[in-house]
A and B are shown apart, each in its own frame.
Chain A
Amino acid sequence: MSLTTNPRTLNHPNRASSPGRPKQTLRDRYGDRAFNIAATTVLLLSILAVVYPLYFIVIASISDPNAVYEGKVWLFPSGVTTEGYERIFADSRIWNGLGNTVIYTVLGTAISVSTILCGAYALSRKDMPGRKILMLLFVITMFFDGGLITKYLVVRDLGMLDTVWAVVLPGAVGVWNLIIARSFFEHTIPNELREAAQMDGATDFKFFFQMVLPLSKPLIMLMIMVHVVAQWNSFFDALIFLNDDSKYPLQLVLRNILIQSDVSSTGTTGGDIESYAAAQRIAELTKYAMIVVSSLPLMIALPFMQKHFTKGAMIGAVK
């Protein structure tokens, strides 16, 4: 693909002998061409390796479970059925989990993003006394960690077990995100702007909320997305801090169904092997559909989010 759009190899076949490129021999050009072919092949194979399993899950989720079971589904769905999806939509655990996840995601993101933005801005101000020591306080936590057990005991002592707070608070502020936000403020908010605002009598609060935040939309978008994705996908805090399964987020419900193979709601009818095997196949079908449904929201949002994440990687790399 890249070969055909390469003007050097196609449009100017004699360029190698032109005076501007004295040493570009024919052999080198073939070397580059071989490289292009090899690179494109490797990347196409990588794309296939990423896409095919996902594609297979999508077609398997709408195929007759018997056809999937017998290995007849490879490129196209066979014997289209929506039973897997119907079962999901009838499963109250999924809906309940989805509702919890939405609550945890909105609340968690709001807490994390506002704490990080405010804190990072303060730390970005070179005129704040004690800035270096305070920053060190955060950086230390990147290298030393109290560990799982003491974190659990602290959350328990705070009386947060089995509450929303246990899911949204313990991981609220990532130091890495704080550093990214701080270096964004350092690089995009000019000192002169603040001095001018202070001349006009603006307080730090006023300057932060009325000038800095409106100028930091890309950062705010990035932070929101990072936290939405992380919270949407997280299960571990919920696993250790929640006992009450009516509070389980979607990921934990999925784990119990997909991985622990908890088929209680798919109904094992009768005692004979035939119907048990059929129930098993339906359960498999439901799993495929469940993977699709739970990943779809973020996959749809991906093209929209990509721009911001790429920018975020840049900010991180600059640091």
Chain B
Amino acid sequence: MSRTIPARRGRPAAAPLPQPKNSLALRLKRISRAWQLYVLLAPAIIYIVVFKYWPMYGVQIAFKNYNPVDGFTDSPWVGLTHFIRFMNSYQFGQVVGNTLWIAVLGLLVAFPIPIILALLVNQLQSERFKKFTQTVLYSPAFISTVVVVGIMFVVLSPRSGLVNNAIQLGGGEPIFFMGSAEWFRPIYVISDVWQNAGFSMIVYLAALAAIDPALHDAAKVDGASKLQRIRHIDLPGIMPVVTILFILAIGNLLNVGFEKALLMQTPLNLSTSEIIQTYVYHAGLQQAQFSYSAAIGLFNSLLNLALLLVFNTIARRANQATLW
């Protein structure tokens, strides 16, 4: 440090010569001085190299015929064979269609509900009722996916389930919900809202709490009704958070909920419940077609990335907050 100060003072502009060597030495010195920080970071770095970048390196098997002896690097190249096989397979249209259906339906229904709930909860005057509502609505987020799907199976059971008992009480015929293709999507989305809406609401409530109360007071003085204040103060106030969460949701569009779809699958609803990722699981891990299913997985990631880029651009055009 002390060496650089006189150098800067003495030769303000015309000293390019000793600078590179000096700054390299300086940088090495700064790095070696911070060695303990690198030690702290090392486990996390090792983790992402082994469990994130190594698999990423392995994605090349999508263009190869993977065999365990040759490993990722030495397996023979086959080009786009696996992609072409997937696109020509009879499942292609169905599997991609099912994935997009669930993703878009989930987004359209499950994304706005937490915002609406947060706006309503935020308007409650009783602090105790507010707290109570919050706690109750977000408690299902702590129930595991396995148990939530287990609840579906018992509550929707055609023989003894709560819902079918109610239907029969009303004079209707029992419905085999978990075994019918047309019920898979509604059940999937409704259970998603049931489990996660309350938890997602918390972020919006935090954003609402950050809005300057003076804005509300001023609007009240001007005679704005609650609905008007929600529309003109609350909504614009949380819009940046909404936009960012929306883009993040798009980014994860084709990834989330895969475990639940897998758990909800029965042989009878496969025609709507088989999505890209469950197909990868079945073809790859259960039938050991590693290269073929890695290609499908890569197809899924690329589709996802494309969606993310498109929506981020739209958000930028609309002059909203963006991810980058």
Contacts and interface: CB of A to CB of B under 8 A. Distances in A.
Interface of A: 1-2, 5-6, 20-25, 28, 31-32, 35-36, 39-40, 42-43, 46-47, 49-51, 53-54, 56-57, 60, 65, 68-69, 71, 114-116, 118-119, 121-123, 125, 127-130, 134, 137-138, 141-154, 157-158, 169-170, 172-173, 178, 203-205, 208, 229, 232-236, 240, 251-252, 254-255, 258-259, 280-281, 284, 287-288, 290-291, 294-295, 298-299, 302-303, 306, 309-310, 313-314, 316-317
B95 interface: no
Contacts of A234: 144
B142 A298 contact: yes
B215 interface: no
B37 A148 contact: no
Given A119-B40, A205-B39, 18 more contacts: A2-B123, A21-B223, A32-B226, A116-B44, A122-B41, A127-B34, A129-B31, A134-B41, A141-B48, A145-B255, A146-B57, A146-B59, A148-B281, A148-B297, A153-B55, A153-B66, A284-B160, A295-B147
A50 B139 contact: yes
B320 interface: no
Q: Please classify the interface of chain B as helix (H, G, I), strand (E, B), loop, or mixed, using the class held by over half of its residues.
A: helix
Contacts of B31: 129-130
Nearest to B144: A233
Contacts of A141: 48, 52-53, 56
Contacts of B313: none
Nearest to B157: A284
B189 interface: no
B48 A150 contact: no
Contact of A298 (B47, B143, B149): B143
A6 B223 CA distance: 17
B221 A2 contact: no
A77 B310 CA distance: 53
Contacts of B145: 233, 235
A5 B165 CA distance: 39
Most buried by A among B31, B56, B205, B290: B56
Contact of A39 (B39, B47, B72, B124): B124
Contacts of A151: 51, 55
Top 4 A-B residue pairs of the complex, sorted by shortest distance between their CB atoms: A146-B55, A23-B223, A119-B44, A71-B165
Nearest to B34: A128
20 contacts: A23-B223, A24-B223, A36-B226, A47-B133, A71-B160, A125-B37, A127-B34, A129-B30, A141-B48, A141-B56, A144-B301, A147-B301, A148-B285, A150-B58, A173-B44, A173-B48, A255-B150, A294-B144, A306-B135, A317-B241
Contact of B41 (A71, A119, A240, A303): A119
Contacts of A125: 34, 37
B40 A122 contact: yes
Interface residues of B, number: 99
B293 to A, nearest CB: 5
A2 B226 CA distance: 14
B220 A21 contact: yes
A221 to B, nearest CB: 16
B104 interface: no
Contacts of B290: 149, 153
B206 A258 contact: no
A24 B225 CA distance: 8
Contacts of B153: 258-259, 287
B159 interface: yes
Given A146-B58, A299-B142, A203 B36 contact: yes
Nearest to A33: B226
A211 B79 CA distance: 55
Nearest to A124: B37
A306 B198 CA distance: 12
A235 B137 CA distance: 24
Nearest to B155: A53
A152 B293 CA distance: 12
A41 to B, nearest CB: 10
B88 interface: no
Interface string B175-197: 00000000000000000001000
